[in-house]
Structure 1
Amino acid sequence: MDDGDEGAVRATRRKRADARRNEKTLLDAAAAVFVDSGVDAPVRDIAARAGVGMGTIYRHFPTRADLIIAVYRHQVEACAEAGPALLASSATPHAALARWIDLFVDFLITKHGLAAVLRSDQSGFDALHAYFLDRLVPVCAQLLDAAVEAGEIRSDLEAFMLMRGVGNLCVGADADPRYDARRLVELLIAGLRRPA
């Protein structure tokens, strides 16, 4: 390969890396806006938060459904990657679990809007839900197991049950401003502790 070919390959790789970074920035901004304002938030709010023009968002995600599905997958991956990182960086496994559940609540807030967007595509929704379970149940189980092994929490709770309980506490949180799902989830996680 001559120098010109090598330069073209490097430029292509750099362009791909830049495109991935830009897409991640867009997805992070969209996730934050969706958590704050719901999945019906104006695209201009996402563009402003990401520091890009609206055309950039539409170039990456031609429809709102495309954007919401991409945010959903992005948040699943972020939650999956956060579990081990939180275990490594938190003072205790229970603290790591609590921080991870907080991220999971943010994800659930966005996920509830997804159902409305995919109303007409049940198989697409089912595939995303299976992906969600495949990626996140093992991470939650790892966090629970670490807290059990440390003697911090009860040992009679399965990851799926905990995630389902947290999900149920989050349902309808946007319908009543007096309902604080996050506070109830905090109480649930605190209640897992073994008595001293």
Structure 2
Amino acid sequence: SYGASQALFGVDLEIEEGEVLALLGRNGMGKSTTVKSICRMLPASGTLTFDGKDLSRLPSHRAARLGLGLVPEGRRCFADLSVQENLIAAARKGAWTFERVIEMFPRLGERRGQRAGSLSGGEQQMLAIGRALMTNPKLLILDEATEGLAPIIRQEIWSAIRLLKADAGLSILVIDKSLKELKGVCDRAVILERGKTVWTGTIDALSEDVAHRYIGV
């Protein structure tokens, strides 16, 4: 809810370890609100569990420490910090290190000392993904990670997501509008309409009729 305005009424989704799940729906149907609820940025009723733990009463920073890594809509990099400072700001010990992020996104290595606010939109998106990976999450949430980017940069982001899918044990929740790209990387999909889950199934079972009805493509 946003104050007295309830936004979600019956969202039901589950993501397994190592699974890539697409969260779909038209604009304003509750996708980003669902992400904010999972990450404890908004109050939500119902059952919310992660890795066997109850998230519903936790503040956002404690939920993050359990292994939630968010790449927020709009990137939200720390503009006055350098690329390297952004990456190490919330780093936690694990397989994802500064060197490994730079290997995935070499452009960040070239700009490690540059202020994040001076980067292009695509570079900021790479930085936002790298920053989330540096927390070594169990669940990586990508909220419109390719929105507004040039086609060549979008392909770099999708290539990175395909590589991440091969990272054993990492679960990924993806919100995006590109069904073609989602079908190449996701295992299952959940569709929201007016704050409710209206369809769930394997990504291959998502027919053109269902997509047209609920997504508008």
- TM-score between the two structures when normalised by the length of structure 1: 0.32
- TM-score between the two structures when normalised by the length of structure 2: 0.29
Q: Which is helix-richer, 1 or 2? A: 1
Greater gyration radius: 1
RCO comparison, higher one (Cα < 8 Å, 6+): 2
Q: Which is strand-richer, 1 or 2? A: 2
